[in-house]
Amino acid sequence: MLSFILRRLLIIIPMALLVVTLTWGLIRIAPGNFYSSEKKLPPAIEENIRKKYGLDKPWYQQYGIMIFNVVKLDFGNSLKYQGQSVNEIIGRHLPYSATIGILAYLLALVVGLSAGIIAALKQNSIWDYGSMALAMLGLSVPNFVFGPILVLFFALGLYWFPPARWGGFGNVVLPVITLSAIYAAYIARLTRAGMLEVMRSDYIRTARAKGLDEKTVLIKHALRGGIIPVVSFTGPALAGLLAGTVVVERVFAIPGLGNIFIQSVLNRDEPLTLGIVAFLSILIMIFNLAVDISYGFLDPRIRYE
């Protein structure tokens, strides 16, 4: 087990470099550059800029310099936001997204798991239909619609919460609810399906036959196996949430990483994009590793060679 974890941790480094390389290639293929604007630049000024950022060197040299720096975990300065290093930008904006993301996921877990379990236990009852209909609502109302509706009623109608911007606890409520809706819905549906699948499997039947009470069967056995799809989903979802969700950040004007990531791609701010991609890929791989490890705990039948 330990060697399995170690191997997986070690492989993260070349993987992240590969992701950075691919992203770098994509940025270079994509049309446009970071410095152009609607006012066309005189060629001399364009040349000054290209020289300043080493864009006049051959591509393999540029790539070499880039990858060498990435290995040192130094992504350099942002092209758009002059004088600010990529590491600094990520460090500064991650806490905002992470706060919102983790709170939203916790809320989604609580709501989603309870709704899913209730629905599975009382399959085809009013509880089942009710919670699944709610879940479906969470899925079919996009967050760019849900957020503004919340703002309209709770911020501009009732004046309970501020409509946007970062600040105290009040500022966090609406974005967290908006963000958690879709995840709660996913989790509810996946839990229900997973539980139903597990509850008719042999080992649950055995557990029941052994005369264990329904509660123990449910929590010790059914739930552990039943939330495997939820766990599979959690890895990448949580990584994505930590890195921010652009729509919610824009609607609520939160200075999170998600918006900055999208903007960096749209601005062709290469160092910033690469820095966030590297960070994100490491995050995703660590989370997925955690997921794979937890499979073993959740379902004793899963073994890693």
Partner 1 sequence: MANEVEIVKGASLWQDAWKRLLKNKLAVFGLVVMAIMAFAVIFGPMILYWATGFTADGIPENGDLIKSFPPSLLHPMGTDEAGRDLLARVLQGGRISLMVGVISTFVSLIVGVSYGAIAGYIGGKIDNVMMRIVDMIYAIPYILIVIVLLSVFGGQNTPGWIQYLSETFGGAGNQGLSQIFLLFFALGLVSWLTMARVVRGQVLSLKNQEFVLAAKATGVSTFGIIFRHLVPNTLGPVIVYATLTVPSVMLTEAFLSYLGLGVQAPFASWGSLASDGVKNIAIFPWQLLFPGLTMALTLFSLNFLGDGIRDALDPQTRKF
Partner 2 sequence: MAESRFGRSKILFTFIVLCSLSAGCLTSANSRYFGETTPPKDNILRYVSGGEIESLDPPVTNSQPDARIMFALYEGLVEIHPKTLEPIPGIAESWETGPDGTQYLFHLRKNAKFSNGDPITAKDFVYSFRRGFSPALASRNAYLGYYIKYSEAYNSDRSFVKDKSGNFLLKADLEPKKDGGQVTEPAAAQSTGFGADTEFNKYIKGPERLTVPSDKKERDALLAKDAKLSAAVQGKEFVPVKPEDIGVEAIDDYTFRLTLYQPAPFFLGLLSHQYFRVVPEKVIEKYGDQWTRTENIVTSGPFKLAVHRPYDVLKVVRDPNYWDAANVKLDGIEFYPLDEATTMMNLYKAGSVDALYNHTVPAAWFDEIKQFTAEYSLQPEVADEFYVINVKRPPMDNVKVRKAFALAIDRVSLAKFRKTLKPLVDMTPEGIFPKYEEVREKVYSEELKKQGSSLEEWKARIFEPEKARKLLTEAGFPVTPSGDGFACPSFPVDKVNITYNTAESNKAVAEFIQAQWKQNLGITVPLKNMEFRTYLPLLNKVDYDGFARKGWVGDYMDPYTFLSLYYSENNEGSTGWWDPKFDKMLDDANKTVDTQKRFEMLAKAELYVMQQQIIIPLGTNTTSWMKKPYVKGMYPNPGTLFPWKFVYIEPDPSKWTTDMDTIMKDDDPVVTAQLAQLTASQDAMERSKATKAE
Q: What is the DSSP string of 96-152?
A: HHHHHHHHHHHHHHHHHHHHHHHHHHTTTSHHHHHHHHHHHHHHHS-HHHHHHHHII
Residues forming contacts to partner 2 in the complex (CB under 8 A) are 30-33, 35-45, 47-49, 51-52, 77, 80-84, 89, 92-93, 148, 151-153, 155-157, 159, 162-166, 250-253, 255, 259-260, 266-268
Among residues 288, 52, 252, the alpha carbon closest in space to that of 170 is found at: 252
Nearest approach in angstroms of CB 303 to partner 1 is 7
Helix axes 2-29, 59-71, angle to 10 degrees: 150
The H or E element containing residue 132 is helix 126-140
- Rounded CA-CA distance 98/50 in Å is 36
Q: Which does 196 bind (CB under 5 to 8 A by kind): partner 2, partner 1, none?
A: partner 1
DSSP label of 281: H
Question: Residues 95, 137, 112, 98: what is their CA dihedral angle, to the nearest 10 degrees?
Answer: 0
Helix axes 228-242, 270-298, angle to 10 degrees: 160
Nearest approach in angstroms of CB 74 to partner 2 is 16
Residues forming contacts to partner 1 in the complex (CB under 8 A) are 8, 11, 15-16, 18-19, 22-23, 26-27, 29-31, 123, 129, 132-133, 136-137, 139-145, 148-149, 152, 182, 186, 189-190, 192-194, 196-197, 199-200, 202, 225, 228-229, 231-233, 235-236, 246-247, 261-262, 265-266, 273, 277, 280-281, 284-285, 288, 291, 295, 299, 301-303, 305
Q: Which does 299 bind (CB under 5 to 8 A by kind): partner 1, partner 2, none?
A: partner 1
Q: Which does 84 bind (CB under 5 to 8 A by kind): partner 2, partner 1, none?
A: partner 2
74 contacts: CB under 8 Å, gap ≥ 6: 87
Q: Which does 38 bind (CB under 5 to 8 A by kind): partner 1, partner 2, none?
A: partner 2
SS3 label, residue 57: coil
Q: What is the DSSP string of 247-271?
A: HHHHHTT---HHHHHHHHHHTT-HH
Q: Which does 303 bind (CB under 5 to 8 A by kind): partner 1, partner 2, none?
A: partner 1
Nearest approach in angstroms of CB 136 to partner 1 is 5
Query: How many other CB atoms are found less than 10 A from the CB of residue 257?
Result: 28
Q: Do you know the residue count of the chain?
A: 305
Q: Which is nearer to partner 2, 3 or 82 (CB)?
A: 82
Q: Which does 18 bind (CB under 5 to 8 A by kind): partner 1, partner 2, none?
A: partner 1
Amino acid at 160: W
Nearest approach in angstroms of CB 94 to partner 2 is 12
**Paired strand residues for 97:** none
Q: Which is nearer to partner 1, 42 or 112 (CB)?
A: 112
Q: Which is nearer to partner 2, 44 or 209 (CB)?
A: 44
Q: Which is nearer to partner 2, 35 or 186 (CB)?
A: 35
